[in-house]
Amino acid sequence: MLYLKLSFLTLSLILSQGTFAHSDEYLDTQTAPHGGQLRMAGIRHYELVVKTNEITVYLTDHAGTKIPSNGATGTATVLSGKSKAAVKLAPAGDNVMKGAGKFGLAPDMKVVVSVAMPGQAADQARFTPLQKSKPEGK
């Protein structure tokens, strides 16, 4: 019985570490392959790269393996101050979703990305691309 309790405790600790490892704070400590900001979106990672009037989202799994964007649909909602822009995202090769809209870059901007893979419900991620999360305790 003691062995079973210890096994359960060990499994719980391992699983909780995996959950923590993908927090926004943790992902902000990682170097994104394309210089963007990383976030969890369901079982995937999204990397958001923003330029004036352009949104690019890279889709990968937890190990960084590319997830093909063929047949996926998506949107990005860009919020900055009192302005709001909706950007339609479309597959743009390999693991890329891309779209263009009318918005500028601002330090307070927030972007909500929603991507639906073929035959699946959409997963969302929230980004603050021009600011990083503050490390815990600071």
pLDDT at 138: 45
pLDDT band at 26 (very low <50, low <70, confident <90, very high): confident
pTM value is: 0.79
Q: Is the pLDDT of residue 20 over 50?
A: no
Spatial separation of the C-alpha atoms in residues 75 and 80, rounded to whole Å = 16
**Domains (ranges, CATH) in the chain?**
31-127 (2.60.40.1930)
Tell me the C-alpha distance between 109 and 31, whole Å: 21
**pLDDT at position 1, please?**
52
| Element containing residue 20 per DSSP (H, E) | helix 2-20
Encode pLDDT of 47-82 as tens digits: 999 999 999 999 999 889 999 999 999 999 999 888
Q: How confident is the model at residue 19 (pLDDT cuts 50, 70, 90)?
A: very low
Q: What is the pLDDT of residue 8?
A: 47
Q: What is the pLDDT of residues 80-129, one digit of tens each?
A: 888 999 999 999 999 999 999 999 899 999 999 999 999 999 999 999 99
Determine which of 11-20, 30-39, 44-53, 120-129 has the lowest per-residue pLDDT on average. Answer: 11-20
Q: What is the 3-state secondary structure (H, E, C) of 69-123?
A: CCCCEEEEEEEECCEEEEEEEEECCCCEEEEECCCCCCCCCEEEEEEECCCCCCE
Other beta carbons within 10 Å of 87: 21
